[in-house]
């Protein structure tokens, strides 16, 4: 019973901490997200990513460094406490969420792999100046310009895109994709999807997911615009041309890839990106580069985790945590 009770408490706490923290970050963004409108997209996307993964990260950190040490140190091995229906239900729901995250991550990887293999059957390798990853041209009805993969990223370009765009526009579009590559957006997208799927039975955080996706595209645009106003103008032109060539219902599903248009190719989103690029081009103003470590949100989280890592060594803290565990078990009986 000692092991079963401990596992049930661990799963229940992971679900509870993650859900409450996700609700808190979602509410925080709804209330204060507007204050970041004047930030660069690169700063905004970093903050959104931090907000999205911090609930799950904090839940795991607290469970590993506080709950488990307190339970192992002070819970009697031959305890009379049992797993109540409420505790068991919470643990079961948590296990479903974790299992769903694992299953859907594997399914996304397999779907992307199948599509990539299908593309490679007719792909032709090409070399493009400034692009260090393996690049292919493919025959596809959709105007594909996409980086696929996390650990071995590859760039795929629909052959008709090279005819549709001028050399300068192609260079600008690839500068956008290079921004995704530098930011490791495929990996971040996978981590955020896992965080969301772990809370499948309590769906929240989708607002942050959508905001991050939009900010990631704007940040990749900024990466291109940092090369100068002419590149920003070329990228805006490329966006308009490619958007007009998109066939209805022809978008391929790519769970582990990033397209020129991201997750959303609606006219409103494209217009906003083009408008911002034209502003950069008109003023010849280059977006500012900011360090991730200069983000106060990151520093605050790092400080919190550092404090907790010291606290878990304290016997008094662990005794209080165990008392909280006992209280929680009684409430769930």
Nearest to 78 by CA among 1, 6, 8, 5: 1
How is residue 133 annotated by DSSP?
Answer: S
The tens-digit pLDDT sequence of the chain (333 residues) is 778 888 888 998 898 888 888 888 888 998 988 888 888 888 899 999 988 888 888 888 888 888 888 888 787 887 677 788 888 888 898 898 888 888 888 888 888 888 888 888 888 998 887 778 889 999 888 888 888 888 888 899 988 888 889 989 989 999 998 888 888 888 888 888 888 877 766 666 778 888 898 899 889 988 888 888 788 899 999 988 888 887 776 565 655 555 666 555 556 678 888 888 888 888 755 555 544 444 445 555 566 666 666 655 567 777 887 788 888 878 877
Query: Which residues lie across from 284 on neighbouring strands?
Result: none
CA distances (Å), origin 24, targets 18, 32, 80, 125, 188? 10, 12, 36, 47, 21
- How many other CB atoms sit within 10 Å of the CB of residue 120? 13
> pLDDT at position 49, please?
92
CA distances (Å), origin 90, targets 11, 76, 317, 325? 7, 23, 25, 15
Q: Is 205 exposed, middle or buried (0-12, 13-18, 19+ CB in 10 A)?
A: buried
How is residue 166 annotated by DSSP?
Answer: -
CB 70 within 8 A of CB 325: yes
Q: Token digits for 35? A: 């204050």
Q: Domain residue spans in the chain?
A: 2-332
Residue with tokens 């025959």: 139
CB 87 within 8 A of CB 12: yes
- How many other CB atoms sit within 10 Å of the CB of residue 51? 23
Nearest to 90 by CA among 141, 165, 14, 151: 14
């Amino acid at each position: 019973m000692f092991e079963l009770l401990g596992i049930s408490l661990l799963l229940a706490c992971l679900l509870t901490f993650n859900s409450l923290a996700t609700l808190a970050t979602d509410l925080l963004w709804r209330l204060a997200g507007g204050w970041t409108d004047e930030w660069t997209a690169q700063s905004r996307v970093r903050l959104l990513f931090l907000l999205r993964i911090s609930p799950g990260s904090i839940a795991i950190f607290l469970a590993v460094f506080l709950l488990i040490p307190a339970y192992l140190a002070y819970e009697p091995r031959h305890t009379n406490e049992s797993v109540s229906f409420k505790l068991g239900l919470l643990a079961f729901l948590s296990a479903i969420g974790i299992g769903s995250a694992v299953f859907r991550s594997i399914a996304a990887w397999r779907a992307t792999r199948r599509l990539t293999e299908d593309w490679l059957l007719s792909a032709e390798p090409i070399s493009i100046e400034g692009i260090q990853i393996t690049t292919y041209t493919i025959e596809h009805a959709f105007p594909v310009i996409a980086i696929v993969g996390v650990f071995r990223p590859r760039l795929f370009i629909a052959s008709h895109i090279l005819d549709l765009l001028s050399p300068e526009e192609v260079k600008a579009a690839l500068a956008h994709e290079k921004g995704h590559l530098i930011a490791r957006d495929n990996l971040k997208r996978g981590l955020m999807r896992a965080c969301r799927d772990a809370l499948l039975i309590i769906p929240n955080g989708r607002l942050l997911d959508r905001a991050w996706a939009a900010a990631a595209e704007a940040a990749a645009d900024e990466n291109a615009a940092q090369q100068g106003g002419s590149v920003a103008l070329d990228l805006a032109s490329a966006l308009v041309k490619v958007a007009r060539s998109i066939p209805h219902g022809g978008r391929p599903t790519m769970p582990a890839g990033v397209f020129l248009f991201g997750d959303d190719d609606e006219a409103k989103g494209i217009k906003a990106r083009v408008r911002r690029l034209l502003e950069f081009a008109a003023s010849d103003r280059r977006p500012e580069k900011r360090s991730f470590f200069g983000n106060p949100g990151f520093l605050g989280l790092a400080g919190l985790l550092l404090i907790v890592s010291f606290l878990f060594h304290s016997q008094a803290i662990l005794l209080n945590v165990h008392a909280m565990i006992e209280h929680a078990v009684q409430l769930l009986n």
